Amino acid sequence: MSMIAPLKNVTDMGFDALRDAYKTGQLTPESLMKDIRSRAAQFDSYNIWIHLLSEAEQATWLNDLKNKDLDTHPLWGIPFAIKDNIDLAGIPTTAACPEFAYTPTDTAQVVQQLIDAGAIPVGKTNLDQFATGINGTRSPYGPGHNAFDFDYVSGGSSAGSSTAVALGLVSFSLGTDTAGSGRIPAGFNNLIGVKPSIGLLSATGMLPACRSLDCMTIFAFNSDDANTALAAAEGYDIRDGYSRPNPFDNQARHYGLRQGELTVGIIPSSQLKFYGDKNYEQAYSDTLAKLSDAGFQFKEIDFAPFNEVAQLLYEGPWVSERYIATQPLIDDNPEAIFPAVREIIAPGGKPPATALFKAQYRINDLKQICLAQLATVDCILTPTAGTHFTIAEMLEEPIKRNSELGYYTNFMNLLDFAAIAVPGAMTKTGMPFGITLFGPTFSDRMLLSIANRVQRAIPLKKGALDLPATPANNTPVGQPKVIDVMVCGAHLTGQPLNWQLTERGATLKTQTTTAASYRMYALAGGPPYRPGLILDTEQGQAIEVEIWSVPSEHFGSFVAGIPAPLGIGKVQLADGSSVSGFICEPYAIADATDITHFGGWRNYLASLK
């Protein structure tokens, strides 16, 4: 078991707790970072860091916080870790290969957006070299050790990023994912792992493994923190050839309109693989039982087409992308590459173009079958991994056992799906077991909302550092505290984003209008198409709106997902009262259409038919 006993009374590293501590003066970012460096030294044998930032290296970002308002910067003072195949200006990027290392002059786009939102980098983390592997043992900086049991693998390739969160050294972290590297480590360390749709997060400043399949990922303690980080990190980047704007239309699907009912696809028992691990098999059964008690409905799907796609990742021509990413090192200095990694990458220069096209044809055929099954359910649920190996077991058969870990993950990016890894029931031996929820492209927020429901049905067990758990899904005594929110567009009843309210337990309070002092504009972009509400006391009119009561504990995650130029401000209603509601930055109306005369969003949409 763990060489280092879990620390007690460690500062809660969740976003809300840190922000509350900052607001009350119990903590400063400087004191927190000093404490993190001190605690990191106690876990040196876990091989988490390739470069832990010094006080001097963090000074610029800490000083910048003095010019940032905590209330308007959702990640103000929140510490995060960066996988060392992602650039941070002035700090070497190694990809866990010292001979390959370089020092970038620019910071990766996603990292910069997180810093702009107030987050503070803590360091660059260890990984399976060149992000080739999902176990965490393929690094010259040492294997990544699991946060719950030192003898077990952390999972990779995002090994250090996951363990840094699980051991309370950061509040969230960035990883990457090609075959499962943003999900396997989450499952092994009791974390949320967000594997977003490819292109949702910019890849500028991220060293590719398989450029056409890679995506940056997020590890966090709970779904609300993950959503807040995702909202700050996402965005279209014209410099990234695989970047794409999120249309949000697939997020809603039939969600929210079915009054909270969920139908989740699961794998039939004949297609499940646990590789003899009875503890994981039992934890999976326990997880499904708890979700069934919470109202989840299950429908069996055929996993065979998903598995056939998965086999193409390492057995097909995509290994050529890994070869491209490591040239000329693999050609000129192959001994610099970790042996198991070299064994995978070296043949990558041989597949002909015909092999790639044949594989693409087959994947497209299989994708049609997979999407047809997805269309019958809200999402599909699988184990994140079928077993959990010790480091010794992994080193005995590194290729075979790495492949076994990828049984439930390797197909995901080849099919262009979004996925969220979520903690499930713990095993009988007290080790984490995780499940993964996946859906079609840009179903990211829908999956996060389902992950939130999973965490309420299966309260997050206290982790390696005895951190506070996600609240259980118990009915509170007395009336829960709520915050009234005015909505006027895509969040209205029956509209595409209404699920973001219903899945947080929000209820419709009333339908009314604003005071006669507002103008409404149809903003550029979409779908979903969005209105902008602007105060105009001279030429304004009354606009149809709804008031929803949102549980206060979920208000922050709801607001964090609101994209610019929209925001929350005070809106005056027809009865003279004021309520928090959607407003728009005035600059956005330059390219917008004035639709005030329709009197509301529904009337405007009706006019388009």
Pairwise CA distance, residues 603 & 93, whole Å: 54
Pairwise CA distance, residues 184 & 193, whole Å: 8
Instruction: Determine contact, residues 130/155, Cβ cutoff 8 Å.
Output: no
**124, 139, 154, 157: the active-site residue:** 157
Instruction: Determine contact, residues 18/12, Cβ cutoff 8 Å.
Output: yes
Pairwise CA distance, residues 563 & 557, whole Å: 12
The residue written with tokens 């909202």 in the block is 231
**154, 161, 173, 181: the active-site residue:** 181
User: What ranges in 444-591 are assigned the alpha helix state H?
Assistant: 444-457, 499-502, 552-560
**83, 124, 195, 367: the active-site residue:** 83
Residue 157 a catalytic site member: yes
The residue written with tokens 């200095």 in the block is 333
User: Order of strands across the sheet with 566-572?
Assistant: 507-513, 544-551, 482-487, 578-584, 566-572
Local structure of 54: helix, strand or coil: coil
Pairwise CA distance, residues 93 & 96, whole Å: 8
Instruction: Determine contact, residues 366/383, Cβ cutoff 8 Å.
Output: no
User: What ranges in 375-511 are assigned the alpha helix state H?
Assistant: 391-396, 398-405, 444-457, 499-502
The four Cα atoms 285, 291, 294, 300 give a dihedral, to 10 degrees, of: -100
State which H helix or E strand residue 58 sits in.
Answer: helix 55-64
Pairwise CA distance, residues 562 & 569, whole Å: 12
DSSP 270-332: GG---TT-HHHHHHHHHHHHHHHHTTEEEEE---HHHHHHHHHHHHSTTHHHHHHHHTTHHHH
Residue 38 a catalytic site member: no
Q: Which of 131, 54, 51, 45 is nearest to 92 (CA)?
A: 51
Helix axes 223-233, 552-560, angle to 10 degrees: 20
Residue 607 a catalytic site member: no
Within 10 A of 22 (CB to CB), how many other CB atoms are there? 18
Catalytic residues: 83, 157, 181
